[in-house]
Amino acid sequence: MAAQQHLYLVDGSSYIFRAYHRLPPLTDPEGTPVGAVYGYTTMLWKLADDLDKADGPTHLAVILDKDSQSFRNEIYPEYKANRPPPPEDLVPQFPLIRDATRAFSLPCIEEQGLEADDLIASYARAAQREGWNVTIVSSDKDLMQLVGEVDGARIDMLDTMKSQRIYIEEVEEKFGVKPELVGDVLALMGDSVDNIPGIFGIGPKTASKLIAEHGSLTAALDAAEDMKKSKLKERLLENRADAEMSRVLVELKEDCDLPEPLEDFKLDGVPPEPLSAFLEKHGFTSLLRRLDAGRGSPDRPNNLHPEKATTKGDAGTAEGNRQPLPEMEAVDRSKYETVQTLERLEAWVARALAAQVVAVDTETNSLDAMRADLVGVSLALGPNDACYIPLGHGSSDMFAEKPTQVPLEEALAALRPLLEADEVVKVFQNGKYDLNVLARYDITVGPIEDTMIISFDLDAGRGQDGIGGGHGMDELSERHLGHTPIPFKEVCGTGKKQIPFGEVPLDKATAYAAEDADVTWRLYQHLKPRLAIEGGTRIYERVDRPLIPVVAQMERHGIKVDRAHLSRLSEEFAKETGRLEKEIHELAGEEFTVGSPKQLGDILFDKLGHKGGKKGKSGQYSTDQSVLERLAGEGAPIANKVLEWRQLAKLKSTYTDALQEAINPDTGRVHTSYSLVGAQTGRLSSTDPNLQNIPIRTAIGRQIREAFVPDAGNVLLAADYSQIELRLAAHMADVETLKEAFANGEDIHARTATEMFGEVTRDTRARAKTINFAILYGISRWGLAGRLEVEPDEAQAMIDTYFQRFPGIQRYIMETLETVRERGYSETLFGRKTWFPRINSKNQAERQGSERAAINAPIQGTSADIIKRAMARMMPALREAGLGHVRMLLQVHDELVFELPEGDVAAASPIIERVMAEAAAPAVTLSVPLGVEIGTGKSWDAAH
């Protein structure tokens, strides 16, 4: 029996539109935009790769739309009439789609007066009649009508953007009906893009419900008569004709003449020319490399090096960020080596030195790098070419016999030349952790690369829809390699049963640890080339990569905290909260848990009968600060007591108690952990403990800052950027008035007050300040109205005045949004991207949320870039001045905290100020000065 034939029909036109909106605006060496073509090319490649695979294509053709007119226009002149013209930089890419298809030596079918959908339908049916299987490469919902099986020949669909097969179940999931009824559903719901009317007011949900219930469009329309009186009934009766015409419009023409016979679509491998010439012409160098690597032809993709497999293609989108799974040599854990002798270790080190690129991972007994003891090291030099070097296994009694291991000192001596070699790149996943662990053994690792940071610089913000946009190894491995690494909990257990890694038997430990290095190596090969292609090199090389060892060093420094001071505060707060609690209970007339917003709400609004209680969607009264302040103003003494109680309880539990516990017994200091990938905008975040939210705004809270102190003989120095985000907004939106004010060193909120209200008073300045921030955060009249306690109309008037007084701001907002809508990401002045997959969401709240975030991201992100650059340059600048002993301890978004001998303040201050003020240069020249304020003192509080 002959092998089953399998025809792939590629819907080229719809693909290019989607690719355009999902991919960055790349241009080729001649400046022609080619982003969408690049996506299309990688997609074709992937399909050609699948040749010879089970279910892979034996025949393939690309189907294109010839022009916008079709027989449907004769039925309904408005058909597709309100389609906006394609974007300017997409137009020149249309002909390139044909070029790309020909470059792959694939047939390309288009026909005057016929839409691609009709050709696809006709070819699909023709092939099905021959008993072939058919896969339609498209996600067009109209085509879903075709899905199904006739006499053992099936038609399915493939959405390459989402790597998703669509068969009957998927269609049913989407439309709630069998494929053959999809046309009926479409006829009811209409399609605004194609301008198919459907019935107004009936969306996908109602349409599929009606069709599922009645079995067909006609039946549903007939049934309308007997429905009970409703909007729906009216609409069905009134618009029957529209629905019936829509049914004709969505019907696919399955009997077109076939311009070329099916047999001509036979796939026969892809000759290297003209493909290579095409790739070269358009600067697709990574694909060109793949072509060269694959013995000169992509027709045997399995011979390609796995690391050269699909690079970008269809990364994260509003609808998901799964990439097509690249071809790769499958992970084979049996190939890993457990290194137990010095001889073998030296052999690995020698090979690594020769390889120039080695992935490294350390295993320890703690997540806290500052307390973690080294348990082992793994290395990877290529796919499955990895080893684990156990160093601290079996230190407890769980091992009957301690396993054979290279003694720690000897092993470190052997590894040191590798880890410190200038000419060998060490690749880590979250290298900051490993750097800190190894620093405890006096090993200064470098140079390093970091797959977590690379991923962040490429994909920050993707997966805001909860589909997974994280940068952890397991997630990256799933997403990019299609491989699930052994979960940590499978090796060490979880909860109470968790054992330290050092107690894991060597075979299991090797499988886990060597795999981590293996996966890191693969991820690096996969992600690193994308940086250049997608314009991520600048931010990675100039901002984030240099920062890794700097932040690692800051974490190791830590900051001294006065335990006695905190303990005293804890006691005071405890006494005070206890006293308040009693008073609150008396006022309430019963005892209850003050810390429970639920109980408090019931007491305030039900029992005590206060007015204006608002329940949120959790069905619970809101009792937050603003509510309690209102009640207090209305003369409810209990509200003030609760506010006071809350403040003290918060300070005690979050700060005075927790910080004491965070003091490292070895160093006597507190070592936070900064996340370099925590904030989508590029900011750092701080955890365990968070030292970026230590109180400062109230006097009581500031007492906690007094506990942060220098060593004897030293002082703390705090250097703050003044109004950096507003300055950047003035520069980026090019607002003359604001730039001038900053140039003259004016009080910017006062200046805003003058412009807005004509005079500066306490009140107008405060309002101006609120408005200034509101602008940075993407304003709405209601939001501003709430903050300023005015009517939305008045807030709108203020916004209008603001835009009028500061021309440029509105234009900046519009332009930013337009760019983000088009490209899917925002960009900082230094080229940092933040993706907004929901910017074009149909859900208004979702979309508007993304819009506000997108307005803010370039500003907040540029500020983050600038302070990061200052941090990376800081120690070299200080060292040059003989101040290498100055320690940079903390970063709080626009502030750096240093510790230094009292006598060095005068020498260090101007250097710190200069490095911070000039941190944008030379990459970016700002049209506003960056102001830096410096203070010193015997505590963090005193330094402000």
User: Between residue 648 and residue 677, which ones bind DNA under the rule CB under 7 A?
Assistant: 649-651, 653-654, 658, 675
Rounded-to-integer distance, Cα 62 and Cα 100, Å = 11
Q: Do 674 and 688 form a contact (C-beta atoms < 8 A)?
A: no
- For position 646 contacting DNA by CB under 7 A, the verdict is yes
Residues in the chain: 944
Kindly indicate which of the ranges 33-41, 76-84, 304-312, 777-785 contains the residues binding DNA, using the contact rule CB under 7 A: 777-785
- For position 774 contacting DNA by CB under 7 A, the verdict is yes
CB nearer to DNA: pick between 305 and 579? 579
What is the nearest approach in angstroms of DNA to the Cβ of residue 680? 4
* ∠ CA 936-940-941, rounded to 5°: 95
Rounded-to-integer distance, Cα 658 and Cα 700, Å = 17
What is the nearest approach in angstroms of DNA to the Cβ of residue 740? 23
- For position 848 contacting DNA by CB under 7 A, the verdict is yes
List residues bridging with 388 in a β-sheet.
338, 378
Rounded-to-integer distance, Cα 512 and Cα 506, Å = 10
- For position 551 contacting DNA by CB under 7 A, the verdict is no
CB nearer to DNA: pick between 135 and 686? 686
Kindly indicate which of the ranges 28-36, 250-258, 541-549, 589-597 contains the residues binding DNA, using the contact rule CB under 7 A: 589-597
- For position 782 contacting DNA by CB under 7 A, the verdict is yes
What is the nearest approach in angstroms of DNA to the Cβ of residue 708? 13
Q: Do 189 and 217 form a contact (C-beta atoms < 8 A)?
A: no
> How buried is 442 (Cβ within 10 angstroms: 0-12 exposed, 13-18 middle, 19+ buried)?
exposed
> CA 90 → CA 283, 389, 534, 650, distances in Å?
18, 53, 18, 54
CB nearer to DNA: pick between 228 and 231? 231
CB proximity list for 139: less than 8 A, separation 6 or greater: 14, 18, 157, 159, 161, 162, 166
**CA dihedral of residues 891, 892, 898, 902 (deg, nearest 10):** 180
Pairing of strands 887-891, 895-901: antiparallel
CB nearer to DNA: pick between 73 and 620? 620
What is the nearest approach in angstroms of DNA to the Cβ of residue 936? 17
CB nearer to DNA: pick between 135 and 577? 577
Number of residues interacting with DNA: please give it, by CB under 7 A: 71
> How buried is 823 (Cβ within 10 angstroms: 0-12 exposed, 13-18 middle, 19+ buried)?
buried
CB nearer to DNA: pick between 71 and 782? 782
Tell me which of 4, 195, 640, 780 binds DNA, using CB under 7 A.
780
- Subset of residues 399 to 438 that bind DNA, contact rule: CB under 7 A: none
Tell me which of 133, 451, 647, 828 binds DNA, using CB under 7 A.
647
Which runs of E-coded beta strand occur in 779-902?
825-827, 833-835, 887-891, 895-901
In a 13 Å sphere around the CA of 200, the CA atoms on its Cβ side amount to 3
> CA 387 → CA 186, 407, 487, 879, distances in Å?
56, 17, 18, 39
> CA 137 → CA 43, 86, 117, 225, 342, distances in Å?
10, 22, 11, 41, 54
> CA 348 → CA 287, 387, 441, 544, 849, distances in Å?
32, 8, 20, 30, 51
Kindly indicate which of the ranges 133-141, 572-580, 646-654, 904-912 contains the residues binding DNA, using the contact rule CB under 7 A: 646-654
Tell me which of 152, 268, 495, 618 binds DNA, using CB under 7 A.
618
* ∠ CA 615-616-617, rounded to 5°: 125
Instruction: Build a one-symbol-per-residue string for 698-717: x at contacts with DNA by CB under 7 A, - elsewhere.
Output: x--x----------------
Rounded-to-integer distance, Cα 611 and Cα 592, Å = 21
Q: Do 518 and 331 form a contact (C-beta atoms < 8 A)?
A: yes
- For position 585 contacting DNA by CB under 7 A, the verdict is no
Q: Do 386 and 336 form a contact (C-beta atoms < 8 A)?
A: yes
- For position 597 contacting DNA by CB under 7 A, the verdict is yes
Tell me which of 420, 475, 688, 918 binds DNA, using CB under 7 A.
688
Tell me which of 643, 790, 905, 923 binds DNA, using CB under 7 A.
643
What is the nearest approach in angstroms of DNA to the Cβ of residue 730? 16
- Subset of residues 808 to 847 that bind DNA, contact rule: CB under 7 A: 844-845
- Subset of residues 889 to 928 that bind DNA, contact rule: CB under 7 A: 892-895
- For position 686 contacting DNA by CB under 7 A, the verdict is yes
What SS3 state is found at 761? coil
- For position 778 contacting DNA by CB under 7 A, the verdict is yes
Pick from 511, 457, 451: which is nearest to 475 by CA?
451
Which runs of E-coded beta strand occur in 383-527?
385-390, 425-428, 448-450
Kindly indicate which of the ranges 436-444, 758-766, 848-856, 897-905 contains the residues binding DNA, using the contact rule CB under 7 A: 848-856
CB nearer to DNA: pick between 73 and 690? 690
What is the nearest approach in angstroms of DNA to the Cβ of residue 36? 28
Tell me which of 537, 622, 640, 722 binds DNA, using CB under 7 A.
622
- Subset of residues 751 to 770 that bind DNA, contact rule: CB under 7 A: 770
- For position 577 contacting DNA by CB under 7 A, the verdict is no
- Subset of residues 443 to 472 that bind DNA, contact rule: CB under 7 A: none
CB proximity list for 750: less than 8 A, separation 6 or greater: 760, 765, 768
- For position 595 contacting DNA by CB under 7 A, the verdict is yes
Tell me which of 58, 384, 680, 703 binds DNA, using CB under 7 A.
680
- For position 687 contacting DNA by CB under 7 A, the verdict is yes
- For position 692 contacting DNA by CB under 7 A, the verdict is yes
Tell me which of 87, 535, 678, 901 binds DNA, using CB under 7 A.
678
In a 13 Å sphere around the CA of 415, the CA atoms on its Cβ side amount to 29
- Subset of residues 732 to 751 that bind DNA, contact rule: CB under 7 A: none
Tell me which of 233, 777, 918, 927 binds DNA, using CB under 7 A.
777
What is the nearest approach in angstroms of DNA to the Cβ of residue 600? 8
Rounded-to-integer distance, Cα 492 and Cα 504, Å = 7
> Hey, what are 15's tokens?
């693909």
What is the nearest approach in angstroms of DNA to the Cβ of residue 518? 28
What is the nearest approach in angstroms of DNA to the Cβ of residue 436? 17
Kindly indicate which of the ranges 314-322, 343-351, 559-567, 615-623 contains the residues binding DNA, using the contact rule CB under 7 A: 615-623
DSSP character for 922?
Answer: T
Kindly indicate which of the ranges 270-278, 326-334, 596-604, 730-738 contains the residues binding DNA, using the contact rule CB under 7 A: 596-604
Rounded-to-integer distance, Cα 348 and Cα 424, Å = 14
What is the nearest approach in angstroms of DNA to the Cβ of residue 306? 33
- For position 689 contacting DNA by CB under 7 A, the verdict is yes
Kindly indicate which of the ranges 205-213, 490-498, 853-861, 897-905 contains the residues binding DNA, using the contact rule CB under 7 A: 853-861
- For position 783 contacting DNA by CB under 7 A, the verdict is yes
CB nearer to DNA: pick between 739 and 767? 767
Instruction: Build a one-symbol-per-residue string for 476-515: x at contacts with DNA by CB under 7 A, - elsewhere.
Output: ----------------------------------------
CB nearer to DNA: pick between 625 and 804? 625
What is the nearest approach in angstroms of DNA to the Cβ of residue 745? 20
Pick from 681, 865, 896: which is nearest to 777 by CA?
681
What is the nearest approach in angstroms of DNA to the Cβ of residue 641? 12
What is the nearest approach in angstroms of DNA to the Cβ of residue 431? 18
H or E element, residue 108: strand 108-109
